[in-house]
Amino acid sequence: MEFFERFAVPHPSPLIYASMVAIGLVIIAIIAGVSYFKKWGYLWNEWLTTTDHKRIGIMYIISALLMLFRGGADAVMMRLQTSVPDNTFLDAQHYNEVFTTHGVVMIFFMAMAFVIGLMNFVVPLQIGARDVAFPRLNAISFWLYFAGAMLFNISFVIGGSPDAGWTNYYPLASNDFSTSVGVNYYNWALQISGIGTLMTGINFIATIIKMRAPGMTLMKMPMFTWSALITNAIIVFAFPVLTIAIIMGTLDRQFGTHFFASTNGGMDMMWANLFWVWGHPEVYILILPAFGIYSEIIATFSQRNLYGYKSMVGSMVIISLLSFLVWVHHFFTMGQDALTNSIFSITTMAIAVPTGIKIFNWLLTMWKGKIHFTVPMLYSVAFIPLFTIGGVTGVMLGVASADYQYHNTMFLVAHFHNTIIPGVVFAMLAGLTYWWPKMFGFMLNEKIGKWAFWFLTIGFCFSFFPMYITGLDGQARRMFTYSEATGFGPLNMLSFFGAGLMAIGFVIIVYNIYYSFRYSPRNVGDDPWNARSLEWATHNPVPEYNFAVLPQVESSEAFWDYKKKGHKLFPDSIKKIHMPNNSGLPIIMSGLFFIFGFSFVFYIWAGVIISAIGIFACMAYRSFEKDDGRYISAEEIKETEDKFGGAGQ
């Protein structure tokens, strides 16, 4: 019995019991459903063991959408709790847990996964490649992310959620102040999925550097691919810092070291520094791919070449360098001297310059263009003014002396949501809508999509603009309630209303997926948007080998120039194609990592040792394995191509 007591949630509530039941039911329903339709074989062979970048991308995106709902539920609960003064829907401890899991789930398991998912699907197609450099590693990346995400999510019902914020500052996150196993979950879930992300970074840099179609020089790459290259470089340089920080945190909590303690030489600010040395680059890991997506969409729907290609690339490079030099702006108030603060204040504000260049480039791309207001374009057009507001308030926060006024207030919360929602989330939704026909062969319904867009945009304004005001008035962030006398009530109610509109917007998106799946026409052609880059030069949906013949590229808008100027895109004839084999190893390893993390969270050493041995055994197996992939014969390719109506155009 004693063994099982540790798994109890220390601070239960009816909500948690209800979730336990719901999780149990969903798992049973999934197992029963798959068994009933006899889909286990299909699921295993086509998806769970796949090494196809397109399917891995889709699995990332599905997971990201699930996490969006988990994080969204947290968000609605928080806004509900603060909608009126002195509310008692959540108590302080639950509120702490909810904002912590909200932040972690949204950043790591929603936004990161969405970005990486779209990169997976799109980048190899855009560069005219047949897969990524290391398809097997790619599957491992996804499954490690998935293991981490699941590990994090069960904390809610087994042992208790972390409660020290997504920034997890010490000493708050130490055993003294976070007494449940929650922060252990934080450590292990992020460590496991972080390794996956690092592997993605390596994989995509190698892919983009080495596997571009003939003729595609670096300066002829589509902008999204450029953003992916730079993003992955940031990943490779930033994530190891997080790895070390989390190891130190784990040692502190589980092995009694004093890295972040205030005794025996420890220093709590060390965590804050390491966290943000990773953390600020992290926000650019999220926003740069979003910039890339907007660049693609704005050029496509303005029917013009992207304005200022070189300055777009240059500004992203500068942003990526600066992103490593600004981390102190997250704690101006925590005791550095004035000179340090001034330096970081200046570097912070400097980032606004390259960002501004990009904004003007997008505007100039649209200038005199024939703009089509499709759903992806609507998101992009709304992004420009809304993100600019987020950037301007960011510069305000970057003024060190003024930051003393609004640091850790709702003003900050409004700022980063103002960058993340119109910046990242809108880009993901726009990108999903844009590339949806490539993924599934039909379009999402435009009319329903527009409804969702308006609900999300208007909802966004209602929910976050009031926070700027209450923040300047002194409403602190991460407070579970406030008194009537503060006068924050009405604006918080407005914010709750906005959150409700956004929730409706997301529901409409789900409905749109369902509706379009049933009713959308399936004969949309290979290029439904009249687009510009290579992914549109192959079929809809894309065959597993991507391109029957490798394209020959001559400009940064290869497909557009092919359509307008008519140069030959596929000069070669069909030959056999080498493809990677499927493998069950990644998912098995990820299962072992899950057990490893879970056991470590609860100090179950037997589980730790056994799963560690299992993981090493998998690696040894992989070392000895002979897997040279397989070939698809030219005849087979011709057959497939004929079904699609002709090889290459």
Partner 1 sequence: MKIDHTQPLEYSTEQNQLNILGFWIFLGAEIMLFATLFASYFIYENRVGNGPSGGEIFEITPVLIETFVLLTSSFTIGLAINAMRLKRTKAMLVFLGITLLLGLGFLSVEIYEFMHYYHVGATLQTSAFTAILLTTLGTHGAHVTLGLFWGLFIMIQIKRRGLTPATANKSFIFSLYWHFLDVVWIFIFSFIYLKGMM
Residue 245 CB, shortest distance to partner 1, in Å, is 8
Estimate to the nearest angstrom the gap between the alpha carbon of 29 and the chain centroid.
27
- 274 touches, from Cu ion, ligand HEM, partner 1, none (C-beta below 5 to 8 Å by class): partner 1
Of positions 12, 33, 214, 240, contacts partner 1 by CB under 8 A: 240
| 539 binds Cu ion per the rule CB under 5 A | no
Stretch that binds Cu ion, among 92-100, 112-120, 150-158, 279-287 (CB under 5 A): 279-287
- The binder of ligand HEM chosen from 16, 34, 202, 395 (CB under 6 A): 395
What residues numbered 96-135 form the site for partner 1, per CB under 8 A?
A: 133-134
The DSSP symbol for 111 reads I
Asked if 254 touches ligand HEM (CB under 6 A), the answer is: no
CA distance linking residue 531 with residue 299, whole number of Å:
9
Angstrom distance (rounded) from CA 101 to CA 121: 28
Q: How many residues bind ligand HEM (CB under 6 A)?
A: 24
- Closest approach of Cβ 4 to partner 1, in Å? 29
Residue 45 is classified by DSSP as I
233 closest CA partner among 258, 205, 212: 205
Site pattern 153..192 for ligand HEM (x: CB under 6 A): --------------x-------------------------
CA 638 vs. chain centroid, Å, equals 37
> How many C-beta atoms surround the C-beta of residue 342 within 10 A?
13
**Which residues are paired to 578 by β-bridges?**
631
Radius of gyration of the chain (CA): 25
Answer for which of 59, 106, 157, 198 binds partner 1 (CB under 8 A) is 198
On whether the CB atoms of residues 252 and 164 are closer than 8 A, the answer is: no
The span from the CA of 267 to the CA of 261, in Å, is 6
CA distance 561 to 568: 10
| Binding letters toward partner 1, positions 561-590, x by CB under 8 A | -----------------x------------
Stretch that binds ligand HEM, among 61-69, 81-89, 364-372, 420-428 (CB under 6 A): 420-428
Q: Is residue 298 within 8 Å of residue 380, measured between CB atoms?
A: yes
Partner in contact with 391, chosen from partner 1, Cu ion, ligand HEM, none, beta carbon below 5 to 8 Å by kind: ligand HEM
Give the residue, chosen from 52, 131, 296, 403, that forms a contact with ligand HEM under the rule CB under 6 A. Answer: 403
Closer CB to ligand HEM, 289 or 437, in the complex: 289
Tell me the closest approach of the beta carbon of residue 207 to partner 1, in angstroms.
8
Residue with tokens 């976050």: 464
Q: Out of 77, 118, 129, 205, name the contact with partner 1 by CB under 8 A.
A: 205
DSSP state of 367: T
280 belongs to the binding site for Cu ion (CB under 5 A): yes
Q: Is 283 in the site for ligand HEM (CB under 6 A)?
A: yes
423 binds, options partner 1, ligand HEM, Cu ion, none, Cβ within 5 to 8 A by partner type: ligand HEM
The yes or no reply on residue 266 touching partner 1 (CB under 8 A) is yes
Q: Provide the minimum distance between the beta carbon of 247 and partner 1 in the complex, in angstroms, as a whole number.
A: 7
Sign of the torsion formed by the C-alpha atoms of 117, 119, 123 and 126:
positive
DSSP secondary structure, 202-242, as one string? HHHHHHHHH-PPTT--GGGS-HHHHHHHHHHHHHHHHHHHH
For 632, the 3-state DSSP assignment is: strand
Chain centre to alpha carbon of residue 600 = 26
**C-alpha separations of 105 from 99, 114, 313 in Å:** 10, 12, 30
Regarding 201 and contact with partner 1 (CB under 8 A), the answer is yes
Asked if residue 140 binds partner 1 (CB under 8 A), the reply is no
Q: How far is the CB of 351 from ligand HEM (least distance, A)?
A: 5
For the chain, the maximum distance between any two Cα atoms, rounded to a whole number of angstroms, is 77
Q: Which does 259 bind (CB under 5 to 8 A by kind): partner 1, ligand HEM, Cu ion, none?
A: partner 1
Nearest-10 crossing angle of helices 182-210, 112-126: 10
The DSSP line for 290-303 is HHHHHHHHHHHHHT
- The answer to whether 357 contacts partner 1 (rule: CB under 8 A) is no
Nearer to partner 1, 258 or 478 (CB): 258
Q: Are 211 and 163 in contact (CB under 8 A)?
A: no
Phi and psi at residue 242, in whole multiples of 5°?
Answer: -65, -40
Query: Does the footprint of partner 1 cover residue 148 (CB under 8 A)?
Result: no
Return residues touching partner 1 (CB under 8 A): 133-134, 198, 201-203, 205-206, 209-211, 236-241, 243-245, 247-248, 251, 255-259, 261, 263-267, 270, 274, 277, 578, 616, 620, 623-624, 626, 628
Return residues touching Cu ion (CB under 5 A): 280
Return residues touching ligand HEM (CB under 6 A): 167, 283, 286-287, 329-330, 348, 351-352, 355, 391, 394-395, 397-398, 403, 407, 412, 415-416, 419-420, 423-424
